[in-house]
Each structure stands twice: as C-alpha cells, then as structure tokens.
C-alpha cells in the first residue's frame, strides 16, 4: 500500500491448491547494494496480475516484464516491498476489522494507527499480514501476549534483499528472482511470530526451516504454520542448545540450504534490555506502554548481537559446502564493524569468498544486513544450476 500513482502488482502462487497472494505498489525501481566489492543489479521484475501455473517439472511458469534501473543510493523501501511509505487504513481495517479499534483520526491529515500499545501494534501488523501476505486473521490470537510483535514492512525488506543476492548468484541476468519450493532457507531464531518464513513463502514460494530455542515460541510458530496450511513448506525445529546456532538444526551433513537468515538477540543481558525498555517508556509522550514486549530469547543473549553473530560465523565455516549464503541482521553500526572484522580475519577454517553489506532504513530505524559466502562466483552459478531454482 502506498501513495497514489504507484503501480499495482499481484503475484499469485498456488501451492497445490493453496492460493497465496501479495499485493504491492511499485513506484520507481529503487535499490542499493552495499558490498565489500561493488555490485549493481541491472533490473527488477514488475509483476502485473500474473497467474502462476505449474509445469510438469513442478516449477511455476509465468509472464514477466523487466524495468531497467540505474545504480543509485537507497532512500526508501525496497521496490518489491508491499509497503511503500504509507498505510491504506481503510483497506487494512477491511482486511482485519479489529484494527478499527486503534485508529486515530487527526484533525488534519490521514488516519493513523496507534503505535504506543502492544495490542495496537499487534492489530496493525496482523492486518498487514492478512492483506498483503494472505495470512489467516487468527495470527493475532495465536501469537503469545509476551512475544515480540514484528514490524512487517521491515521484515519484508530483509526477505527481498535475500532474493536479490540469490538472483545475482544464479545467472548473469540479475532480473530473474528464484521462486518456488526448491529454494530452501533457514531462519535462525524464528520466534513465536514465524514472520520471516511466512513472508518468504508468501512472496516467493520458498521452503523454510525456522529454528527456535524457546519451547513456547516453537509451539506458537508451529501453530501459525498449521493455521495457514503451510506445514509442507515451513518446518519449525526446536533448538535444544542455547550455545549452538546451526548444530542440532542442520539435520544431516547432506542437508542443503540456499541461505540462512537471522534477527539476532540485540542485548547482552536482561539488565541491559530492561534499562533500554525503561528509557523508551520515559520518552513516550503519553502513558505507559507495553509496546516493547518480547521473550528473553528474542531480546538478549550472552554477548548481544555481536557475540551471537560471531558464533554464527564460526559455525558457518563447518557448513560452508552446505549453504550458498549466510546472512544476519545487525542493528548497530559499531556492531557491524566488529562482525565484519571477525569475518575477514579468518580462523576456525575457511575465510569467506565474498562479503556483502546492505543498509536498510534511515536514522534510528536503520539496520544492516551482513551476508557472506564461501563460494566464488563460478561456484555460486554452479550451485544455482544444480539446485534447479524456478525463476520469476
């Protein structure tokens, strides 16, 4: 949903009878790709009410048009993100009526959603999932009261950038985005919300593994997958060790992932988490709010995001032949610098063949994605060819 004048696109993917659709607005084709080696994507795909049917080889077959774009600096949402800067409150409330209870009608300007209570944030993001990603409205009831409520537009950004890096790996044509269940990803710490697997499957039809260390969050994620008839495409696995990232989730030495993704716990301790929540509450213009909910495993761990991603890097080297791209979200700029230094210094085996950094958002809402692979471009192309990805 975006301002008027943006082009409307609709992608419909049929998973053996299950229709999953995402409506989005595209204005100008905008992208940026910050990397340790300069890379530019030459085009993006614009999808206009394209129906997807399955061929005999079970790959989607669809029409596509390509909009050429020039290299520029990222200023707004990813061009394939359904959210392009503003909300269509009327459409959202129609899709999920409980949101109507939290709409603010200012004297001037457009209607807005309350953002200072957990229930309001939960309703808004549920409405976005229902309208844009065909997720069942029961999502809000299944998500535990103490769980982190994920902001859908920002989570979708991450998924779209993964599609970009897979596209660059698959062929010389960066306008072809891998789709379908033959593309397999792993979300580390999927949380109670299961947000990344839901978006990845809805938009691109990817198969996803979601790992989670918290038993109640694991159960919530499984319930959400079942409520949306996605058990065939989303497998939620319980990580029994708080000290492992991939160990215990990678089922066999032969299991293959095209990518991993992660939104790591940010805080280094419970005390640091509580102090930050108190600071945010003091900064609100009105009343106390519980808009900063989240389970312990979602919010903090020993070493915070730097320690978590460093452990991920160390473990990734043991699975370097089993995964094309390892990725993680990083919230702080100084954390990103420490993590990148750890990647480049090697140790624990192989050094990555390539590292990419992507900046998302702006100001206090900005974050980065760091991506690394142990395969050079030739091996990445060979990987994509052997995996038999469908493309859009």
> Rounded distance, CA 192 to CA 220, Å?
5
The tokens of 358 are what?
């992507």
Q: Which two tokens stand for residue 355?
A: 């590292």
Contact, 211 vs 187, CB < 8 A? yes
Helices and strands (H and E) in the chain: how many = 11, 18
Specify whether domain 7-269+293-391 bears CATH 2.40.10.220: no
What distance in Å separates the CA atoms of residue 218 and residue 190, rounded to the nearest whole number? 8
Distance CA 93, CA 97 (A): 5
Q: Which of 202, 205, 196, 207 is nearest to 156 (CA)?
A: 196
CB 210 within 8 A of CB 198: no
Which are the contacts of 291, defined by CB distance < 8 A and separation ≥ 6?
115, 116, 117, 118, 120, 121, 149
Q: Which two tokens stand for residue 222?
A: 């499984």
| Domain layout of the chain by residue ranges | 7-269+293-391
Residue entry with tokens 């891998």? 178
pLDDT tens over the chain, length 392 residues: 333 333 233 333 334 344 343 333 323 332 333 333 333 333 323 332 333 333 333 333 332 222 323 333 445 889 899 998 888 999 999 999 999 999 887 776 677 776 678 889 999 999 999 999 999 999 999 999 888 888 999 999 999 999 999 999 886 555 678 999 999 999 999 999 999 999 999 999 999 999 999 999 999 999 999 999 999 999 999 999 988 899 999 877 789 999 999 998 754 444 554 455 555 544 544 444 444 454 444 444 565 789 889 999 999 999 999 999 999 999 888 889 999 999 988 665 678 999 999 998 755 567 899 999 999 999 999 998 899 887 76
pTM for the model stands at 0.76
User: Would you put residue 264 in left (φ > 0), alpha (ψ -120 to 50) or beta?
Assistant: beta
Q: How far apart are CA 180 and CA 233, in angstroms?
A: 10
């Amino acid at each position: 949903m975006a301002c008027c004048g943006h082009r409307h696109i609709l992608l419909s993917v049929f998973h053996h009878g299950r229709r999953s659709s995402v409506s989005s607005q595209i204005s100008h084709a905008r992208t940026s790709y910050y990397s340790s080696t300069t890379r530019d994507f030459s085009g993006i795909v614009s999808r206009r009410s394209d129906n997807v049917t399955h061929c005999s080889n079970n790959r989607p077959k669809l029409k596509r048009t390509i909009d050429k774009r020039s290299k520029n600096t990222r200023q707004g949402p990813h061009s394939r993100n359904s959210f392009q800067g503003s909300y269509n409150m009327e459409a959202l409330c129609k899709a999920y009526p409980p949101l109507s209870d939290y709409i603010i009608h200012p004297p001037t300007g457009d209607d807005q959603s309350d953002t200072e209570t957990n229930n309001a944030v939960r309703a808004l993001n549920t409405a976005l999932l229902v309208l844009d990603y065909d997720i069942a409205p029961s999502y809000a009831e299944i998500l535990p009261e103490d769980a982190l409520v994920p902001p859908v537009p920002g989570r979708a950004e991450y998924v779209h950038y993964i599609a970009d890096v897979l596209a660059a790996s698959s062929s010389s044509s960066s306008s072809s985005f891998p789709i379908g269940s033959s593309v397999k990803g792993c979300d580390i710490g999927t949380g109670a919300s299961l947000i990344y697997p839901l978006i990845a499957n809805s938009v691109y039809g990817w198969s996803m593994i979601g790992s989670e260390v918290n038993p109640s969050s694991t159960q919530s994620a499984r319930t959400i997958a079942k409520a949306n008839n996605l058990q065939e495409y989303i497998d939620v696995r319980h990580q029994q060790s708080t000290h492992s990232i991939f160990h215990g989730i990678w089922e066999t030495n032969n299991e293959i992932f095209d990518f991993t993704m992660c939104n790591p716990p940010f805080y280094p301790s419970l005390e640091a988490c509580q102090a930050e929540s108190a600071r945010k509450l003091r900064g609100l213009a009105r009343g106390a709010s519980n808009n900063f909910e989240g389970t312990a495993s979602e919010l903090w761990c020993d070493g915070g995001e730097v320690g978590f991603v460093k452990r991920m890097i160390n473990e990734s080297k043991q699975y370097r032949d089993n995964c094309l791209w390892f990725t993680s979200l990083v919230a702080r700029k100084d954390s990103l610098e420490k993590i990148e230094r750890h990647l480049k210094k090697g140790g624990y085996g192989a050094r990555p063949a390539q590292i990419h950094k992507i900046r998302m958002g702006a100001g206090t809402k900005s974050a980065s994605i760091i991506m690394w692979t142990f395969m050079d471009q030739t091996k990445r192309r060979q990987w994509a060819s052997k995996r038999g990805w469908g493309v859009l």
